[in-house]
Structure 1
């Protein structure tokens, strides 16, 4: 793996992407941590720098091109042009989520429940924008460096939801499916520019966003956790560091130079299991 490269990571303050940042910094890369929560990103950058790595935290809104352009200029001033872009920003919203897994007529009469017919178009729009546009816009901004250098590497973060839509979260599942599709489209579009585009589709990992759905206030597994683990042949959640082997392979120009347009599941067998 070549060192002294500059990697830009969006959503970098999150559990998974901060793990990516630590790992790549240890490999000798310059890491720019982009996040709307720049305070959280700065804490990660400080830890990386304390351990001898090179990292900066940059405030950026992945839904605003002007914000991304400003972040791009900061990265260029500090580290030079971008070599690797990891699109990790994303998430869900309660307004794009149903209360029940299966539709029941009585749900339409219960004001405390959100049925399919109650889904808020604005909430669904937000989820699609955050995941899809939040991948497209940073790519538009930072891949200009790739065109200039005639070389580049994009890694998008998709999800198991893209392959097997989970109950209750149609907006997030659809948005991540769009990310996977976009990964394939972009890989073809940029193929003759020496730019590779791939994605990682994590299975189930405990993050700040989903922790409350997976464990109750006492730390006990919820019913949804039991269902998830029952459909994961390895019968456990993944650990963030278990994504690093796939990440390191995809960023390594020698090891994966002929790999583009793929979505790699890292899921403990979830995508292979039919449920019976």
Structure 2
């Protein structure tokens, strides 16, 4: 069996970023009609231009995943340009410095300037939860309206290793991604009587624009945190964006995964399987 996405309408949120931009290009190569949604229109259009230059069908759209009315307008544009959505990739998400601690463990003699758990800004925490959770729920509300009438349709969410075991320093992001995994299972059950399947991938550690400064110093050497990550990843390296493609394709293609629903697939170099000893 082979992947079959020819003429499928694939809607991808967060498509201006490295991971989802790469997924968009991969779907474009398979003959899909790709709608790239991102708050950064120029970034989405740049990836769309690459797809079109390679002979594919794509268009970038400015989309705020936290504004349902705006999403409804984008939904109408996509339907006019390509038709109703067959595959929805909810890739919008991220963290915020206001929701991140400086220290991994609380100690009573920390320097005064240390941003601890007690100093976390509620607005930053709210932003992270909204961006990840609502930023997945609202696009699903909008685009799944058409998908419920399809013969076969699929929703793929982006969870994280944090959803299995929370990482230090980033409590809001870890909790928000755990919520994505829970929502994925909920949506799978909710839509089980239709022809929509809902699954998720949980990427391990990839180098992106968001985390590059956390993983490498000015000499581009791994930071202490990066060394801990690599030490707990049995494959001993960071993942690459294109290494997510096979898992996403597998979960999205009815020919390959028609009886798979509500799962979260780790793509992590063995990180989730490793106990550290």
* TM-score bracket, shorter-length normalisation: over 0.9
- Using structure 1 for the length normalisation, give the TM-score: 0.97
Alpha-carbon distance in 1 for matches of 2:177, 2:155? 16
Aligned twin of 2:161: 160
RMSD of Structure 2 on Structure 1 (CA):
0.9
Aligned twin of 1:80: 83
Contact 2:152/2:254 (CA < 8 Å) preserved in 1? no
Divergent runs of 4+, >4 A: none
Secondary structure at 2:69 match in 1: helix
Deviations 1:144-189 (A, max 9, x none): 0112335421000000010110000000000000000000011001
Contact 2:10/2:85 (CA < 8 Å) preserved in 1? yes
Aligned twin of 2:176: 175
Out of 6, 12, 15, the residue aligned to residue 12 of structure 1 is 15
Deviations 1:247-271 (A, max 9, x none): 1111211110111000000000000
Gaps of 5+ in 1: none
Aligned twin of 1:197: 198
Deviations 1:31-59 (A, max 9, x none): 00000000111111011100001100000
Alpha-carbon distance in 1 for matches of 2:66, 2:222? 34
Alpha-carbon distance in 1 for matches of 2:5, 2:43? 28
Contact 2:89/2:156 (CA < 8 Å) preserved in 1? yes
Secondary structure at 1:200 match in 2: strand
Alpha-carbon distance in 1 for matches of 2:177, 2:106? 23
The alpha carbon displacement at 1:244 in A equals: 1.1
Secondary structure at 1:271 match in 2: helix
Aligned twin of 1:64: 67
The alpha carbon displacement at 1:24 in A equals: 0.5
Gaps of 5+ in 2: none
The alpha carbon displacement at 1:75 in A equals: 0.4
Q: Which moved more, 1:1-10 or 1:174-183?
A: 1-10
Secondary structure at 1:191 match in 2: coil
Q: Does 1:134 align with 2:135?
A: yes
Secondary structure at 1:154 match in 2: strand
Aligned twin of 2:207: 206
Contact 2:202/2:266 (CA < 8 Å) preserved in 1? yes
Deviations 1:57-100 (A, max 9, x none): 00000000011111101100100000000000000001111100
Aligned twin of 1:37: 40
Aligned twin of 1:242: 243
Deviations 1:108-160 (A, max 9, x none): x61x2111111111110100000000000000000001123354210000000
The alpha carbon displacement at 1:2 in A equals: 3.8
